[in-house]
């Protein structure tokens, strides 16, 4: 798949859906349907990602993840492409979940680097090679060392880019803001069409400057239109405008990281509820719910950036 073909099919804004929970921390599939309808109707993204980090995939069971995929495919009904997050801690389970996505007609899977086990780079390579050779879908590597504990190094991506159905990578760029460039340099000789996306809202501007083709953005639940305007302004050479449009998104992202929170869900979820009116519920344990003090800061920021009156 060429970069142009990827952009035409999946676009620039890939949105990882939050997974709604009720008061007993059970998935509320009806609210999930409502959220998908809202996002499609308001054109806040180009593609939908099921059970990514924002969807708290590591806190969901295998069967729950499959049912979320089924729901998204059915509700989107071809109006937006559905991408499945299928990464698990083990290669065996990742293969099984990716096969389930393929059975549902999903043709692109985003596979996070295996977590908890901290494999070596040869282990990472073997993991992805096994998955890619076990399925017919395309694979988007997902690098997020801040959560999984290891990085997918550029030489490893160089080797993985030789595998036909490993077509790109999403990089959570906060730890290494220039790694996007490392990935471009590492793959240009083996696959010049290798797709490279940013996966960190707060790093949107630094990465599109380096050539990132788009963003995987949890913040697009609220700031989808602004993210699109930022990328359009940059593409038009309107750098000052892009910077001005980026500041509200930046301030929102900073508010979601209060008190050292790494995964922003506990604060992002209330923000989604306040702006959209859709009750997605609190994050699943062990993520601690938002505090009164954090909510006060969040509400103030949302008001200042024009998302609440």
Q: Which of 10, 142, 162, 307 is catalytic?
A: 142
> Is 254 a residue of the active site?
no
> Is 41 a residue of the active site?
no
- Catalogue the E-assigned strands of the chain: 13-16, 47-50, 82-85, 108-112, 138-143, 166-171, 195-198, 215-216
Q: Which of 32, 125, 170, 183 is catalytic?
A: 170
Q: No. of H helices and E strands in the chain? A: 13, 8
Note whether 58 and 283 are within 8 A (CB): no
> How far out from the chain centre does Cα 135 lie?
21
Note whether 220 and 54 are within 8 A (CB): no
108: its two tokens = 């692109």
How far apart CA 119 and CA 253 sit, in angstroms, is 31
Residue (of 6, 214, 191) closest to 107 by Cα position: 6
233: its two tokens = 């302004």
> How far out from the chain centre does Cα 231 lie?
17
Strand partners, 216: 14
Strand partners, 142: 112, 170
Cis status, amide bond into 286, omega within 30 of 0: yes
Place of tokens 């998955």: 131
Work out whether strand 215-216 and strand 13-16 pair parallel, antiparallel, or are unpaired: parallel
Burial class, 120, CB count within 10 angstroms (exposed 0-12 / middle 13-18 / buried 19+) = exposed
Place of tokens 């997605």: 280
Q: Name the residues annotated as catalytic.
A: 142, 170
């Amino acid at each position: 798949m060429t970069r142009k073909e990827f952009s035409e099919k999946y676009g620039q804004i890939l949105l990882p859906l939050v997974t709604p929970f009720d008061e007993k921390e059970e998935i509320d599939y009806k609210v999930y349907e409502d959220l998908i309808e809202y996002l499609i109707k308001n054109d806040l993204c180009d593609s939908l990602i099921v059970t990514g980090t924002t969807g708290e995939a590591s806190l969901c069971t295998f069967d729950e993840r499959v049912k979320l995929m089924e729901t998204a495919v059915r509700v989107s009904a071809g109006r937006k492409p559905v991408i499945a997050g299928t990464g698990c801690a083990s290669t065996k389970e990742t293969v099984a979940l990716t096969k389930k996505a393929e059975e549902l007609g999903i043709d692109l899977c985003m596979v996070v680097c295996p977590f908890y086990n901290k494999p070596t780079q040869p282990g990472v390579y073997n993991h992805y090679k096994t998955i890619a050779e076990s399925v017919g879908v395309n694979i988007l590597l997902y690098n997020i060392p801040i959560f999984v504990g290891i990085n997918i190094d550029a030489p490893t991506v160089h080797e993985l880019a030789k595998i036909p159905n490993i077509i790109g990578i999403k990089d959570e760029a906060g730890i290494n803001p220039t790694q996007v460039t490392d990935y471009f340099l590492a793959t240009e000789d083996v696959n010049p069409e290798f797709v490279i996306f940013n996966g960190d809202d707060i790093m949107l501007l630094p990465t599109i400057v380096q050539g990132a083709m788009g963003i995987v953005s949890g913040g697009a639940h609220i700031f989808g239109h602004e993210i699109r305007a930022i990328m359009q302004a940059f593409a038009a050479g309107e750098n000052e405008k892009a910077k001005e449009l980026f500041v509200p998104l930046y301030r929102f992202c900073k508010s979601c990281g209060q008190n050292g929170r790494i995964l922003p869900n506990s604060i992002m979820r209330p923000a989604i509820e306040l702006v959209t009116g859709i009750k997605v519920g609190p994050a699943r344990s062990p993520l601690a719910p938002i505090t009164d003090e954090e909510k006060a800061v969040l509400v103030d920021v949302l008001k200042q950036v024009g998302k609440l009156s």
